[in-house]
Amino acid sequence: MNRNLALHLAVIAALYILHLTLPAYHHGQVARIMVLAVFAMGYNILFGYSGLLSLGHAMFFAAGMYGMGLSAQHLGFATLPAFLIGILCATALAFVVGLLALRTIGVGFMIVTLMFAQAGYLTILYFGEYTRGDEGFVLTNTARNFGNLDFSTADTRYLAALCLFSGALLLKLLIVRSKRGRVMVAVRENEERARMLGYNTWSTKLYALTLSGLFSGASGASYAILFGYVGASFAAVPYSIFPLLWVLVGGAGTTLGPVIGTAFMFYLIDYASGVTDAYMLVVGVTLVLITLFVPGGILGLVKSRFARWIP
């Protein structure tokens, strides 16, 4: 077993140990962090490894969430088929958006993804008869059960989140270490040179965006199942900015950076909001300091100084 795989398995093992030891409040928080970390992993595939800055990733998270929630709530699908429908919706949306958005580059790509995300958010509000708009809707207990598993219970929810997180983390490690993953990095570093070497850079970026949508959709669908709520707020602009912040804080272009960034930001907001009403000021100052003094993110700093082998 190589040390990269050993490191990732150790992280998974540590999270399982936390399941056995954490108090109830943090038990629920870590489960939420693991689900959202999968969203950040998806964003990192696109931004950290392919160099494409999206401002509309909330649409993929929401596509997974609403694909799962609506198919269970209105069409009567069981939990597993509804979950797969959510992933399929997000992946298909990412592919279609990629076909159009990747005709642009740089700032143009950012603006186009933002416009698509805003259109998705307004669509959810327009069809409020089914989506319940800003109010959202709570999933029934039937939609949160699979066989004898009840995902509304704390233990089952945590272990399901850990299974999702583990699968996504190991799959991401496999992807970024594959030949296609190395081409993604080449496109990020110098797209023109990668094209001159014979690689199809457009299809590589489409591949990255579609994969990113798959991860994000899986996170959104899982969030709906495990926490029982589907709402338009998850499709709004802030949920497109959050994964960018998580990736930047943790370390873009690293497999574990998004996990660290998600946990750090989650607990920073949680702690700061308990100390002061101006908690967003604390968060903003922290982000500025990290950007100025740790531009590579927390794991990026560790990697550059102590462990260059970390993927």
- Is 292 a residue whose pLDDT tops 90? no
- Is 295 a residue whose pLDDT tops 80? yes
Task: State mean pLDDT over 284-308.
Answer: 85
Task: State mean pLDDT over 200-212.
Answer: 95
Q: Which of 34-38, 100-104, 265-269 has the highest mean pLDDT?
A: 34-38
End-to-end Cα distance, the chain: 15
| Chain segment 31-47, per-residue pLDDT in tens | 999 999 999 999 999 99
CA–CA dist 33, 31 (Å, integer): 5
pTM for the structure as a whole: 0.94
Phi, then psi, of 229 in degrees rounded to 5: -135, 140
- Is 1 a residue whose pLDDT tops 60? no
Q: Who contacts 234 (Cβ-Cβ below 8 Å, separation ≥6)? A: 58, 61, 62, 65, 220, 223
CA–CA dist 299, 167 (Å, integer): 21
Q: What is the pLDDT of residue 34?
A: 97
Task: State mean pLDDT over 53-58.
Answer: 92
Tokens encoding 171:
């799959």
The answer to whether residues 230 and 58 touch, using CB atoms and an 8 Å cutoff, is: no
Task: State mean pLDDT over 57-69.
Answer: 95
| Between 107 and 211, the higher pLDDT residue | 211
